[in-house]
Amino acid sequence: EDLKTVLGNNVFDFPKSLELMLDILKLIPNKNALILDFFAGSGTTGQAVLELNKEDGGHRRFILCTNNENNICTDVTYPRLKTVITGIRPDGTKYSDGLPANLYYFKTDFIEDQANTEQARYNLVEKVDALLCIAEDVMEEVERNDYSSHFINGDKHLFIYNDYYNETKFDEFKQRVLSAEGQKIVYVYASDNNIDETLIE
C-alpha cells in the first residue's frame, strides 16, 4: 500500500515494509550513517532514510544496489525515490511537498580484459570520472572530451586528464586549468604513478 501510494499503481510484489525499515534505522544512533542496501528492490530502504532524516534532522545517506532484473530499478526504484524527493509522481500528480535530497544513479559495466596491462588500466581510468566527482563533491559537468573532463561546484573545480601524455592535448588541458578561478583539484593519469613535475609546476 505504501508503494502504491507513492507511484500510484501496483508495480512490485512484496516490497519491504516502510514502517519496519524506519524501526530498524532508528536502532542506529549515528544520524550521519551511510546505509547500504546491496540487494535493493523497490527502494524502501532509501525512502526510509529520507523520511527519518526529515523526522529527526539527520543527514543519513544511502546506497542502493540492484541488478535491474525485470527493469525494477528503472521502473520502480528510481521513480519511487524521485517521487519521494520531488513530491511529484511519474504521472505528474502530487504525492507530497517533497523532501530535500539529491539522487544520483550509476551503472556498472565490464571492462574488456586486455593482454596489455597498460591498456586495461587506461580502460579503467576512462570510467572513474563519476567516482572522483563523488569523492570530491563536485558534480556539475562543464566540459568533457575524449581525453579530459571539467566539473564544478560553486568556485570549486575538478579537472581530470585521463589519457596517455600528448603534448598538444596536455597543453590545452593545462590552459583550461589555468583559466579557471577558485579552488582547483586536478587528477592526471599516469601509467606508473609518476608525473613529470615540470608538466604541472
Q: Give pLDDT tens digits along the chain (201 positions).
A: 777 777 777 667 777 889 999 999 999 999 999 999 998 888 999 999 999 999 999 999 999 999 888 888 888 899 999 999 999 998 899 999 999 898 888 887 776 766 667 777 766 776 778 888 888 989 899 998 888 999 999 999 999 988 777 889 989 999 999 999 999 999 988 766 677 777 666
C-alpha distances (whole Å) from 22 to each of 1, 19, 147, 174 are 16, 5, 45, 49
Which distant-in-sequence residues (6+ apart) come within 8 Å of 111 by Cβ? 120, 123, 124, 127
* Alpha-carbon gap, residue 101 to 132, rounded angstroms: 20
d(CA 62, CA 109): 21
Look up residue 78 and give its three cell numbers: 528510481
Beta bridge partners of residue 119, listed in sequence order: none
- Answer yes or no: are the C-beta atoms of 161 and 173 closer than 8 Å: yes
Query: How much is the pLDDT for 54?
Result: 94
pLDDT of residue 111: 67
Classify residue 151 by burial, with Cβ atoms within 10 Å: 0-12, 13-18, 19+.
buried
Q: Taking the CB of residue 50, how many other CB atoms lie within 10 A of it? A: 22
Residue closest to 165 by CA, chosen among 190, 192, 184 = 190
Predicted structure pTM score: 0.65
Q: What is the DSSP string of 108-155?
A: --PPPP-SSHHHHHHHHHTT-HHHHHHHHT--EEEEE-SSEEEEEETT
Q: Which pLDDT value is given to residue 114?
A: 63
